[in-house]
């Protein structure tokens, strides 16, 4: 059952990812991205990472992609005016991407030899469990993350403000 679910999600995921790249209208790209992210959230669920699945949908689909959508609407970019690259470059891009994939895959083989920890803890991906880890061991990076956010916030405001000149 879950194997089938895995393959369905995977196919959908790859398909939507490809559509992100190849669809002509930016809005379509965004929508495909959101769809892709839902699939990925599905993968997370399959992997028993329930908390992350929810967060993924909230953050990515709910926040990030809405931001994208907002920007596109705001800038009124939805026309198919985007001039495309020359065919040569497009072919080169596909070749490059394919080459990278081939290399990655051929180099990654043999990973199945890594021992799988048999002690599967289905509760690991739950909020309670992750929360304990996050606020104990990973307290410091978490706090630092707040500085990162502060920086991003100040930066976004700084850039967004109208120049008074």
> Which residues in the 93-152 window bind another protein by CB under 8 A?
93-94, 96-101, 103-114, 116-117, 119-121, 124-125, 129-130, 133-134, 136-141, 143-145, 147-152
To the nearest whole angstrom, how small is the minimum distance from the Cβ of residue 63 to another protein? 6
To the nearest whole angstrom, how small is the minimum distance from the Cβ of residue 43 to another protein? 6
CB count in 10 Å sphere of residue 44: 19
In angstroms, rounded to a whole number, what is the distance separating the alpha carbons of residues 2 and 57? 20
Task: List % helix, strand, coil for the chain (3-state, nearest 5).
Answer: 75, 0, 25
78 in contact with another protein (CB under 8 A): no
In angstroms, rounded to a whole number, what is the distance separating the alpha carbons of residues 94 and 122? 40
48 in contact with another protein (CB under 8 A): yes
To the nearest whole angstrom, how small is the minimum distance from the Cβ of residue 123 to another protein? 10
CB 39 within 8 A of CB 13: yes
Of 68, 87, 88, 127, the residue at the interface with another protein (CB under 8 A) is 68
């Amino acid at each position: 059952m879950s194997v089938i679910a895995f393959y369905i999600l995977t196919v959908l995921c790859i398909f939507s990812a490809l559509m992100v790249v190849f669809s002509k209208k930016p809005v379509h790209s965004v929508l495909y991205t959101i769809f892709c992210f839902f699939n990925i959230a599905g993968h997370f669920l399959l992997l028993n990472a329930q908390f992350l699945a929810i967060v993924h949908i909230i953050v990515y689909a709910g926040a990030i992609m809405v931001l994208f959508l907002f920007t596109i609407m705001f800038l009124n970019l939805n026309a198919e005016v985007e001039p495309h690259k020359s065919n040569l470059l497009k072919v080169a891009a596909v070749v490059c991407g394919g080459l990278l994939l081939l290399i990655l895959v051929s180099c990654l083989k043999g990973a199945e030899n890594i021992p799988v920890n048999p002690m599967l803890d289905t509760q690991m991906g739950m909020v309670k469990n992750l929360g304990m880890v996050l606020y104990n061991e990973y307290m410091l990076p978490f706090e630092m993350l707040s500085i990162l956010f502060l920086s991003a916030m100040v930066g976004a405001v700084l850039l967004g403000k109208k120049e008074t000149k």
